[in-house]
């Protein structure tokens, strides 16, 4: 009965969060266009203008490159946009090559921060490239004459790479399936700790989303440290050490450690004393809301409100796998998330501590009477939950951008994943997260992207009507 009441409470909270979540999607910043002009050098003062539609003249936003050559324009939503570099602002020492030119057409998916790459060259480099292109064209003409005159077809086919890969329904479906799987794995990694904490303590941790934000900011802070960059320069070129001492890898590891320390510290110095004083669960839930507000606004004060990207993954050339376009960053996110989920599942299934966690989640009183140190197990659960939330924050930051409300916006989907998969079960959170991510992304094929969270919540409600205990939850006897 208590589990059903908690399920209803979480569903109500998730429903209330739909309104601010939708409003956030409408505001500029959910989607944006950005870039960094750094070839052959970083150039400040270049003007960039973004227009709505490939043929439209309505200005969406303007930006000027900073001292590092970076620029960013917030978008009102997903769609087609035309990005124009003002050639009058380009210094006389450089020119814009004919390909890709000073005007680019891009399509932006829901919640995508699309990187646009403009090239600059010295006049000598441009002349050399033009000469090479003329030679290649001459060779193609010769080959076309010898081969029966297929040159026209070759020229037409050369325009294909610049075409929008999402023109057909099938291609868009495949692309959004991959995006949904990536997003779902991020939700799954982030929500496992939330489910484990509820399973062992029966407490709803409303601050879990801000613990996700904490991990993302910690990784960014360490990755931007000059010390780590210098250390990486020392081992650059050495196969294994080059990866190990990568600033982002070091930042990720330290963020996970600090996330685990934050979770364990909260359990040891806040939640355990409150339990000893027999504080009711509803009062502890209110305390988690207060802590989430404190943590969120501390991060806002320390790191500011500007959206940031991890510098190492600001610009990447995507892999073209047939109709699919996949960046190395997204492939790494999926691979790391799968490995972590498999390791967590193996730990819960085969290790002594994992079995103790499952025993406490199943029946806390019986586990304690069987000789299990419940307080120690709870401390480990909070540490694991904090570490996984921090890792989820880093992965989410790699997939999108890092900002002070990112975890709060993800909290709705984490709640939906936990309820859908089954309260208190880590495996349910994994399955629920993947389902929610796929539903959220695939819903944009037919409906407005602003409703993607609403449809994910709707699927959760429908499943609960058919199977109240969730996908992998266990039906409890009432009375």
pLDDT in tens, 422-452: 877 788 889 989 999 998 888 888 887 777 7
Residue 277 lies in a domain: yes
Rg (CA), the chain: 25
d(CA 310, CA 399): 10
**Cα torsion at 127, 128, 132, 135 (round to 10°)?**
60
Residue 121 lies in a domain: no
Specify the 3-state DSSP secondary structure of 78: coil
d(CA 24, CA 404): 13
Asked whether residue 218 falls in the same domain as residue 352, the answer is yes
Asked whether residue 78 falls in the same domain as residue 214, the answer is no
- Read off the CATH number of the domain in which 324 is found: 1.10.3470
Residue 338 pLDDT > 50: yes
Asked whether residue 401 falls in the same domain as residue 254, the answer is yes
Asked whether residue 175 falls in the same domain as residue 74, the answer is no
Residue 138 lies in a domain: no
Residue 26 pLDDT > 60: no
Which residues make beta-bridge pairs with 419?
none
Angle at 327 between CA 322 and CA 333, to 5 degrees: 120
Give residue 147's pLDDT band: very low, low, confident or very high (50, 70, 90).
very low
Per the CB < 8 A criterion, the answer to whether 190 and 272 are in contact is: no
Asked whether residue 314 falls in the same domain as residue 451, the answer is yes
* pLDDT for position 451: 78
pLDDT: which is higher, 93 or 197:
197
Domain of 76 in residue numbering reads as 35-115
Per the CB < 8 A criterion, the answer to whether 166 and 178 are in contact is: no
pLDDT in tens, 286-312: 999 999 999 999 999 999 888 787 876
Residue 363 lies in a domain: yes
Residue 129 lies in a domain: no
d(CA 56, CA 79): 12
Specify the 3-state DSSP secondary structure of 64: strand
d(CA 399, CA 403): 13
Cα 32 to chain centroid, rounded:
14
Asked whether residue 91 falls in the same domain as residue 185, the answer is no
Residue 128 lies in a domain: no
Q: Which of 38-47, 177-186, 401-410 shows the lowest mean pLDDT across its residues?
A: 38-47
Specify the 3-state DSSP secondary structure of 167: coil
d(CA 314, CA 401): 10
Task: Please give the average per-residue pLDDT across 157-166, as a whole number.
Answer: 35
Asked whether residue 273 falls in the same domain as residue 194, the answer is yes
- Read off the CATH number of the domain in which 90 is found: 2.60.40.10
Asked whether residue 298 falls in the same domain as residue 368, the answer is yes
Asked whether residue 359 falls in the same domain as residue 428, the answer is yes
Give residue 23's pLDDT band: very low, low, confident or very high (50, 70, 90).
very low
> In the chain, what percentage of residues exceed pLDDT 70?
80
Q: What phi-psi label fits residue 247: left (phi over 0), alpha (psi between -120 and 50 degrees) or beta?
A: alpha
C-alpha closest to that of 24 among 77, 62, 71, 67: 77
Count the neighbouring beta carbons within 10 Å of the beta carbon of residue 317.
8
* pLDDT for position 143: 45
* pLDDT for position 369: 87
Asked whether residue 376 falls in the same domain as residue 242, the answer is yes
d(CA 353, CA 380): 8
Asked whether residue 233 falls in the same domain as residue 311, the answer is yes
DSSP codes joined into one string, 335-393? HHHHHHHHHHHHHHHHSHHHHHHHHHHH-HHHHHHTT--HHHHHHHHHHHHHHHHHHHH
Task: Please give the average per-residue pLDDT across 339-364, as a whole number.
Answer: 91
Q: Which of 111-120, 147-156, 217-226 shows the lowest mean pLDDT across its residues?
A: 147-156
Residue 156 lies in a domain: no
Residue 62 lies in a domain: yes
Asked whether residue 90 falls in the same domain as residue 239, the answer is no
The tally of domains found in the chain comes to 2
d(CA 396, CA 403): 11
């Amino acid at each position: 009965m208590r589990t059903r009441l908690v399920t209803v409470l979480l569903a109500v909270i998730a429903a209330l969060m739909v309104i601010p979540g939708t409003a956030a999607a409408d505001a500029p910043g959910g989607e944006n266009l950005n870039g960094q002009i750094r070839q052959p050098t970083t150039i400040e003062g270049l003007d960039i203008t973004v227009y709505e539609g490939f043929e439209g003249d309505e200005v969406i936003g303007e930006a000027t490159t900073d001292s590092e050559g970076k620029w960013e324009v917030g978008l009102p939503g997903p769609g087609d946009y035309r990005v124009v570099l003002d050639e009058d602002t380009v210094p006389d020492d450089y020119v814009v090559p004919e390909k890709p030119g000073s005007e680019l057409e891009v399509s932006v998916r829901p919640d995508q921060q699309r990187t646009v790459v403009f090239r600059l060259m010295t006049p000598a480099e441009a002349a050399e490239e033009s000469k090479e292109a003329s030679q290649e064209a001459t060779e193609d003409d010769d080959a076309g004459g010898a081969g029966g005159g297929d040159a026209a077809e070759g020229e037409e086919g050369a325009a294909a790479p610049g075409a929008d890969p999402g023109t057909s329904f099938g291609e868009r479906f495949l692309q959004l399936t991959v995006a949904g799987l990536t997003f779902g794995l991020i939700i799954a990694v982030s929500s496992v700790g939330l489910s484990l904490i509820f399973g062992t303590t029966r407490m709803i941790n409303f601050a879990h989303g801000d613990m996700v934000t904490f991990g993302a900011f910690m990784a960014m802070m360490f990755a931007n440290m000059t010390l780590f960059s210098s250390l990486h320069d020392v081992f650059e070129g050495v196969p294994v050490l080059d990866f190990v001492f990568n600033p982002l890898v070091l930042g990720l590891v330290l963020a996970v450690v600090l996330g685990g320390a934050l979770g364990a510290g909260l359990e040891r110095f806040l939640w355990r004393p409150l339990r000893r004083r027999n504080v009711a669960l509803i009062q502890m839930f209110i305390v988690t809301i207060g802590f989430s507000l404190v943590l969120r606004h501390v991060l806002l004060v320390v790191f500011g409100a500007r959206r940031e990207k991890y510098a190492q993954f600001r610009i990447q050339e995507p892999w073209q796998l047939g109709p699919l376009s996949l960046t190395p960053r997204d492939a790494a996110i999926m691979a790391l998330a799968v490995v972590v989920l498999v390791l967590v599942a193996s730990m819960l299934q085969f290790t002594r501590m994992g079995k103790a966690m499952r025993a406490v989640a199943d029946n806390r009183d019986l586990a304690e009477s069987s000789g299990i140190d419940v307080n120690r197990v709870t401390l480990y659960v909070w540490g694991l939950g904090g570490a996984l939330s921090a890792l989820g924050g880093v992965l989410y930051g790699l997939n999108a951008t890092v900002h002070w409300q990112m975890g709060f916006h993800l909290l709705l989907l984490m709640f939906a994943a936990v309820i859908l998969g089954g309260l208190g079960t880590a495996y349910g959170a994994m399955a629920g997260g993947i389902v929610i991510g796929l539903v959220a992304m695939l819903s944009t094929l037919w409906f407005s992207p602003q409703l993607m969270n609403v449809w994910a919540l709707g699927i959760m409600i429908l499943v609960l009507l058919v199977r109240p205990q969730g996908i992998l939850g266990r039906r409890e006897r009432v009375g």
